[in-house]
Structure 1
């Protein structure tokens, strides 16, 4: 019993000494409390007095539905040219008069590549013929023209030059011939070497122009006009006389 009373008195004395600081105390009495404090700057208020909204179901699908689905209007002419109406047997004849050699070649290339059902007639108007020219059509820029010239050298063709100015800038000339037969023979020789992009064209003289006539299915008329508007500075076209 005496031992228990002694221990109780000793415990009270130790508690008194600790509370009065006789056994040492921290510099900041709130240090322990601050150490256990929550990081308030990380607390985010998500609502004030009301439940936060739930994410909408299928939100991703709603955003996808808002995206425009229609194709650009500019593609309409291209699609019409690629898929012309079925030929119903009716024919149309179109004429281009007094074209420069460059414009005549543009129309010829367009008809040959996208409207093969049309047959083309070509005629010089006024002035004397400037001969027959073998060439590769103008490239997009000098780098492309140089690249094409390199391909010619690899095929063993060295008799050429790149046109640097004028309407045929960056075209590659492969020779001018006084007669059609000479031009055709040289073109066949180039084709035999693998030059697939070379063409033969009759050149108008100093004051000459070129007239074209194209005959084909009447159902392709509007598609052809749309292709001319979308890809060329449209030359004047009219019905054949």
Structure 2
């Protein structure tokens, strides 16, 4: 057992000697040298010349594709049919209301309306023997350049007369009569308007073929109504 004790003593002595012989590894902090305030100088930033930056090299322009020119698609143009102006005369107030409603339904442009509601004096050619005779008289008026007339064909007292206008005063009617005589009309006369005859006249503008066909059918259903082409 003695040799074991001796061995332990020798081991402790060797460890103690080894620990003493190892160098000290504690880090040493070296203090920075003190900056002297009197040696510090403030520099103006405007006096500092900036370092030259490298000049960027221009890049090669990439090929730009040309913008395609838009092509214009031709628009189909629908040719409008011929348009005319018409004069539509109806012999009574009831027919005038029917005519007004029909014109609104068809969308026809009404340029002027003349009503006999307030008229008191009538300029006319007295009734002819037959309706054909009255139409011949109307044709004579057209040959003289007179278009504002209508043949009375309502089966009443003034059947086959040719109306040349109704006026609110006798002076206006007399002026109309003088103009007619200057144009060559000799058979026209003036009289107080009969309440049984209250014509209305519509001047229609830009009437299409379809509208004219519809108006012709309606006018044919109104006894004594007259639909004729006139100057626009």
Relative to the length of structure 1, the TM-score reads 0.31
Q: Which protein shows a greater Rg? A: 2
**In proportion to residue count, which structure has more helix?**
1
Relative to the length of structure 2, the TM-score reads 0.32
